[in-house]
Structure 1
Amino acid sequence: MSTPTPLDRWGERLPRRLGLWSAVAVVVGSTIGSGIFRTPAAIAQRVDDVPLFLLSWVLGGAVTLCGALTYAELAALFPRSGGIYVFIREAFGPLPAFLFGWAELLIIRPGAYGAISITSAAYTLRVLGLDPAATAVSVAGQAVRAEQLLAALFVLLVAVVNYVGIHRAAIVQNVSTALKVGALALLVVLGFALGGGQGLGAGAMLAQRAAVGLSPFLLAMVAILWAYDGWGDLAFVGGEVKDPQRNLPRAMFIGTGSVVALYLAANLVYLHLIPIQRSTAR
């Protein structure tokens, strides 16, 4: 009979193999996704005023940074795997934590991963010249679209990668994060270097002023916070981070700050290339 792995001084049995930059990659990789490509156009339909459009992204970034810094304090205090579950259990007891854990398993995560995987599948199929809405298979008389089938395969692939071990998963996370950041950074650089847009000039910004009500602005903030979502995922693997009381807060701050800066740059280049009125066209 094997001897159980002893607890470390924070009460965690899992091996701590994630260094600072692997932890940063978890934050950045969990945050950057389809949202930054799909959300700006939807937000422009509600906030078609350039200064307010940019302000909404700055405000969303500020809220996100506040949340990340709060998480950083909690993660350093309770550096164990489980994330919000651990925080709720320590603050309110086992019952609220138990209820949250099941809600996370059955509702929150499946909903989020479903939306993300469907978007990823749709973009992948379009790049390949295929119709995402085309019927791939039929199960019990129910048509399954190509994007749904590919999305399920994406979720399964990620699950397998995480199942084989933290070391291999960290390598995949680091590589995929580098590719996403590199692609988005390249888009920003080429957009400003080669684009001939004048959407950010003073005259253009004044010409694109428009009245925006409070309700559309708040609805836009919901979409922006969704695009920024993912920064808290590092806390769920806090029990696998080396020197957690030092690395968890630093990774939260570096990762979230980098994403906020990159998102703001991406939106600036979008406006530089495409006037906001064209962004709102359906």
Structure 2
Amino acid sequence: MASKDLPSPSEIALITPGSEQPPTAMGFGEAPNNRSSADSAAAAPAAEKVQMKKQLGLLEGVAIILGIIFGSGIFISPKGVIREVEAVGTSLVIWILSGLLSMIGALCYAELGTCIPKSGGDYAYIYEAFGSLPAFLYLWDAMMIFVPTTNAIMGLTVASYVLQPFFPEECKIPDGALQLLAAVMICFLTFLNSYSMKATTKMQNVIMFTKVAALVLIIILGLVWMAMGNVENFNKPFDNSETDPGKLSVAFYSGIFSYAGWNYLNFMTEELRDPYKNLPRAIYISLPLVTAIYVLANLSYLAVLTPQQMVASEAIAVTFGKKVLGVWSLIIPILVAVSAFGGLSVHIMASSRMCFVGARNGHMPSLLSHISIDKYTPTPSLVFLCALSIVMLLVSDVYVLITYSSIVESFFIMLSVSAVLWFRYKRPNMERPIKVPLWVPIVFVIICAFLIIVPCYVAPYEVGMGVLITVIGIPFYYAGIVWQNKPIWLQNAIGKVTLTFQKLFMSAKEEKD
């Protein structure tokens, strides 16, 4: 790329009002009378348009799905299931049902991703099916809460596993050390995602095999443990099982949390080579594999550890390793740290595409819809989410924030899958390369509705706070998007800020084919 004639920062054009934007897309006020984005098109050779490249094949697609699902959840959250149900057999049933629910949901996303081949995932589908306001509210929750809090928590998880060997068991790791290391890792992965998609995806491919190897190791150790006759934990597996619907729904949430991420490849559809084939294939390969590995891993955990030991453990995989590996137990936290690190990288990469598409539709500041003119990555979106994630590291109640929003996020996922039913009704002749049986989205929506309604009874305060966070976005929608006739001084100010960041990031508006 060094020999390429790239435009100077001053030649990078601003987006002008109404240029390739939907009717509501003048949100957050673009500056009037700025130069057209055609200037940047003229500055760059036609052979290398300023747009994100189709660099993801089937292997990379599988790596993205496995990379985000095999984060740290399976190494930590199994105690959330066993704590609620209190029985080994019921716990395994919930893990199986959580996997089946995820597979049903993934089938729906395979249809959505091939009939609406746009990046942005849930945001794109809600926008296409239900319009601007619901899509904006999802984006509001995602950008303000879901994404940065998840990045912060994943960063803190990696940091805790990296630092733990340097502190005695009785010594608590200082919060400042955890936050600093988490911030460094988030910044590094943001830089890597901005600098080279090829390097990032290669790293994720390697980490994917490491993640699978870690879980296969846990499964083999558990099977060997059981083969040695240690099966007493499975005597009367359903004794004293919890039957309260509220607690069962909370247990399902813990299980589903570990499967979360099966829809993340849909955030990057436009960067997939041959998405009509590779998107569904990646989903069909990943989800059955995840379900089988998760159920077998939990079988191993439950064979080695009693329910009481699992509830008392802060990191089940580490406790498991200490019991079966002895002096070699250090292998487990290293593998967990690598796994969580890879999950964080995938989350940063995929969520930045949702931010990018939202800005492209006018639901976020226009500068976030720009692409690096030499790296072809959404650098402004990546940096924006990096800054929000670091802010979340400093929030003492970051875990509480994600608790407030988890029910709302489930509602929006249900809304996304409802789009399958809506399109079947409103657009019966819509091109559908993949068409799932109608019972599949119906079953998913019904189960999601149950998992949303029950917590309203069990945890009304948390649900209310999640709804409040969402509703706060409505004034921003009307001020930023509906109100188009903003004062000239405000539009000029936003235009100057946009130009400044264009120069800083060497970025320009995406050029269409």
TM-score range relative to shorter protein? 0.7 to 0.9
Q: Which residue of 2 aligns with 1:36?
A: 74
Give the Cα–Cα distance (whole angstroms) in 2 for the partners of residues 254 and 243 of structure 1. 16
Residues 50 and 205, structure 1, Cα contact 8 Å, conserved in 2: no
Check whether the contact 2:66–2:290 (CA below 8 A) recurs between aligned residues. yes
Q: Say whether residues 1:124 and 2:162 are aligned partners.
A: yes
Which digits, 9 at most, give the CA deviation of each residue in 1:221-273, with x for residues without a partner?
A: 11111111111111111111111011101111211221111111100111111
* 2:215 counterpart of 1:177: no
Residue correspondence of structure 1 range 120-199 to structure 2 within 5 A? 120-129=158-167, 133-135=172-174, 144-194=175-225, 196=228, 198-199=230-231
- Assess if the C-alpha contact under 8 Å between 1:199 and 1:274 holds in 2: no
Give the Cα separation in 2 of the matches to 1:279 and 1:92.
Answer: 43
Structure number with the bigger relative contact order (C-alpha 8 A, sep ≥ 6) is 1
Q: 1:194 deviation in Å?
A: 4.7
Structure 1 residue corresponding to 2:109, chosen from 46, 71, 77? 71
Q: Once structures 1 and 2 are overlaid, which stretch shifts more, 90-99 or 60-69?
A: 90-99
**Per-residue CA distance 1:150-193 (angstroms, 9 max, x = gap):** 22222112212211122111101111111111111112112212
Matched to 2:75, the amino acid is F
Task: Tell me which of 306, 311, 314 is aligned to 1:280.
Answer: 311
Among 258, 261, 265, the residue aligned to 2:289: 258
Q: Which residue of 2 aligns with 1:214?
A: 245
Aligned with residue 269 of structure 1, among 290, 295, 300? 300
Q: Does 2:141 match 1:111? A: no
Question: For each residue in 1:95-152, what CA deviation from the matched residue of structure 2 results, as whole angstroms up to 9, or x when unmatched?
Answer: 43233323322211012222222222212211344688443xxxxxxxx522222222
Q: CA 1:200 to 1:82, structure 2 compared with 1: closer, same or farther past 3 Å?
A: farther
1:22 CA displacement: 0.9
Q: Find the partner of 2:257 among 208, 218, 226.
A: 226
Deviates more, 1:181-190 or 1:241-250: 181-190
Gaps of at least 5 residues in structure 2 are 1-42, 314-513
User: Is the 1:48–1:280 Cα contact (8 Å) retained in structure 2?
Assistant: no
Q: Aligned pair in 2 of structure 1 residues 5, 93: CA closer, same or farther (>3 Å)?
A: farther
Q: What is the RMSD computed on CA atoms of the aligned residues?
A: 2.4
Q: Aligned letter for 1:205?
A: N
The answer for the alignment partner of 1:248 in structure 2 is 279
Provide Cα deviations, 1:181-210, integer angstroms capped at 9, x if missing partner.
111111211221256463367xx4316611
Q: Report percent identity of matched pairs.
A: 34
User: 1:73-112 maps to which residues of 2 (within 5 A)?
Assistant: 73-112=111-150
CA shift in 2, pair 1:221/1:254, >3 Å: same
Describe the SS at the equivalent of 2:299: helix
Whichever residue aligns with residue 205 of structure 2, its letter is: N
Larger Rg: 2
TM-score (structure 1 length as normaliser): 0.86
Distance 1:88 1:278 in 2: 43
- Mapped contact 1:133–1:147 kept (Cα < 8 A): no
